[in-house]
Structure 1
Amino acid sequence: MEELLVYIQSRVTFVNIIEVAIIAFLIYEVLMWIRGTQAEQVAKGIFVLLILAPLSSWLGFTTLSYLLNNLFTWAFIIFVVVFQPELRSALEQIGNRGFFDRFTKTKDKVKIEKDIREITEAVEHLSGGQIGALIVCEMNTGLNDIVGTGIVLNSDISTELLENIFTPNRPLHDGAVIIDLKNGKIRAAGCLLPLTDNRKLDSELGTRHRAGIGISEKSDALTIIVSEETGIISYTERGGITRMLTSEDLEILLQDRFTKNEDDEEDDKKGSIFGRKHDESKEKA
């Protein structure tokens, strides 16, 4: 026993411990990253194959073992093809402009708070009139490809303009509005959003809600949705949806996401009521 302990001590170094901790952290982040996405089911399938390969060799299944071993020869290419959307999203988050903005750009908190009130007031009016709306608030991931599907406005944020855009029978009514709160601009209207492929969603959620969830799966954008049938206000973020918001809830949410200091971000994630509500809604979805 003593020899075993001496052997372990000679092999395990501080560098090894750090290396194992980093690998464990990366595995955990990958698992959290694919959780609730289509990639989760694919990952389960790959895990089964990883178990089946050595098992088939041990049981003497020569043909099956040969096929599985050759399959894993091309595993990297298969991984890149299958997880292409998720890999792209991860790389965007690593290199998103928000990482660099914190060093080069200061936020005009007063201006952002004013724009948030303009958005909140517009959503409250639209909800009261049961007028459908889809507002995407850009965060760190760029949405230039989405902006390109609509009509570029680059206008100041105002309650009147937002209400006018979503007025029924207007040309831009059915599309999404892209808002850059950090710069105080409505970038575009009438934009097309990708629909989610999540089949576990409530059947009563319509195209607007599925589009809101879809864009939240492909970016870190926060999307506000007003139901045309019920006037219910919802928001989507990170592939989850939270419903039954009041205008006060919405204002607090936007303040929480766009006016907090960088030093407070970790505390917000742990303590924000909206973070908790979002996580619960994602589990239900």
Structure 2
Amino acid sequence: MSLFITLRFLDVLDILLVAFLLYQLYLLIKGTVAFNIFVGLFLIYLFWLVVRALNMELLGNFMGQFIGVGILALIVVFQPEIRRFLILIGSNPQVNRFLRVEKLFHSDKTKSASGQHLRMMVRACENMAKTKTGALIIIAQNSELKEYIRTGEKINARISDALLETIFFKNTPLHDGAVIINGNKISAARCILPLTSKVNINPLFGLRHRAAIGVTENSDAFAIIVSEENGNISIAEGGELTPNITVIELSSRLENIIIETEDAE
């Protein structure tokens, strides 16, 4: 009998891929209620293995039936996380470039925002921050966010700082909700966005910040938030919030978005 375990290159690759997938799964669900559910399901699975090892037939059969439908239960419970994972894969610029599908699906997309539009957005955010006017601006990238545009009032107007400030002025009917910018146009205002399910968010952040995190979890969009409480500017991308940034930092990040969009095209 051999005392050594034979490891092939494919075995090592298999282990590394599984470890990578588990790590990506952890990053995807950390800080959410789904993480606690995953831990609970994992503990139930370990308990089932112990029951099988002890030959406890009645309990083993009962739990076996539960484990048998576990895949369907996982799909139902983790539907938002699975959707987010698939969106991240599908919206990856490298994947689109490799498959040559980006032009097919986005051939009718409007032109990207120019440097002039960028300066208007930054100017509007700076002015709203000074007056403590709450705002939530969502910049679409590969995903055009049509499902969220349908929930609001369609505008389809050129980007301008005056228009953005008018929309978010407290006494206007469009100020509540999000503005979605698609290419070089303001597509819609008063849009309803999904809230994040993360539980480790600073309680000082309100619904605007939670909506910004939520929409960037479910798409590749970029979100700008102006706080109504203190006038601070924050950004969200990839489900992560960066609070209290300067106008210069905002301008620099928007410039990077334009460059990344042009490279992807």
What TM bracket, shorter-length normalisation? 0.7 to 0.9
Q: What is residue 49 of structure 2 aligned with on the other side?
A: 54
Letter in 1 for 2:257: R
Secondary structure of 2:214's match? helix
- Amino acid aligned to 1:118: M
Q: Which residue of 2 aligns with 1:272?
A: none
Where do residues 31-180 of structure 1 align in structure 2 (5 Å cutoff)?
A: 31-96=26-91, 98=93, 99-100=95-96, 104=103, 111-180=113-182
Matched-pair contact (CA < 8 Å) for 1:136–1:224: yes
- How many corresponding residue pairs? 257
Of 108-117 and 253-262, deviating more is 108-117
Q: Match for residue 223 of structure 2?
A: 223
Aligned to 2:22: 27
Q: Distance in 1 between matches of 2:202 and 2:32?
A: 16
Bigger RCO of structures 1 and 2 (CA < 8 A, at least 6 apart): 2
The answer as to whether partners of 1:153 and 1:186 remain within 8 angstroms in 2 is yes
Match of 1:255 in 2: 255
Could you tell me how far apart the structure 2 residues matched to 1:86 and 1:151 are? 28
Deviation at 1:171, TM superposition (A): 1.3
How far apart, CA to CA, are the structure 1 residues paired with 2:96 and 2:44? 41
**1:4 match: secondary structure:** coil
- Alpha-carbon offset, residue 51 of structure 1: 1.0
Aligned residue number for residue 245 of structure 1: 245
Q: Is the 8 A contact 1:165 1:173 kept in 2?
A: yes
Q: Give 2:173's aligned amino acid.
A: P
Structure 1 partner of 2:3: 4
Residue 78 of structure 1, CA deviation: 0.7
The separation in 2 between residues aligned to 1:109 and 1:190, in whole angstroms, is 23
Deviation of the 1:76 alpha carbon:
1.1
Query: Could you state the TM-score of these two structures normalised by the residue count of structure 2?
Result: 0.85
Change (3 A) 1:262 1:76: farther
Runs (5+) with no aligned partner, structure 1: 265-285
- 1: distance between equivalents of 2:159 and 2:185? 6
Matched-pair contact (CA < 8 Å) for 1:147–1:191:
yes
Match of 1:192 in 2: 192
Deviations 1:118-141 (A, max 9, x none): 110100001111111110111233
Aligned residue type for 2:22: I
Structure 1 residues 179 and 108: CA distance shift in structure 2, 3 A: closer
Q: If the length of structure 1 is used for normalisation, what is the TM-score?
A: 0.80
Q: Deviations over 1:108-165 (max 9, x none)?
A: 9995322221110100001111111110111233411110000112221111111111
Query: Is 1:235 aligned to 2:226, yes or no?
Result: no
- How far apart are the structure 2 equivalents of 1:110 and 1:75? 45
Q: Which amino acid aligns with 2:119?
A: R
| Counterpart contact for 2:120–2:160, Cα < 8 Å | yes
Distance 1:62 1:19 in 2: 33
RMSD value, Cα: 2.9
**1:20 and 1:133 mapped to 2: Cα distance?**
46
In structure 2, the partner of 1:18 is 13
- Note closer, same or farther for the CA distance 1:147–1:231 as it changes in structure 2 (3 Å cut): same
Q: Give the equivalent residue in structure 1 for 2:206.
A: 206
Q: Kindly provide the amino acid, as one letter, of the partner of residue 166 in structure 2.
A: N
The 1:24–1:210 alpha-carbon spacing in structure 2 relative to 1, beyond 3 Å, is closer
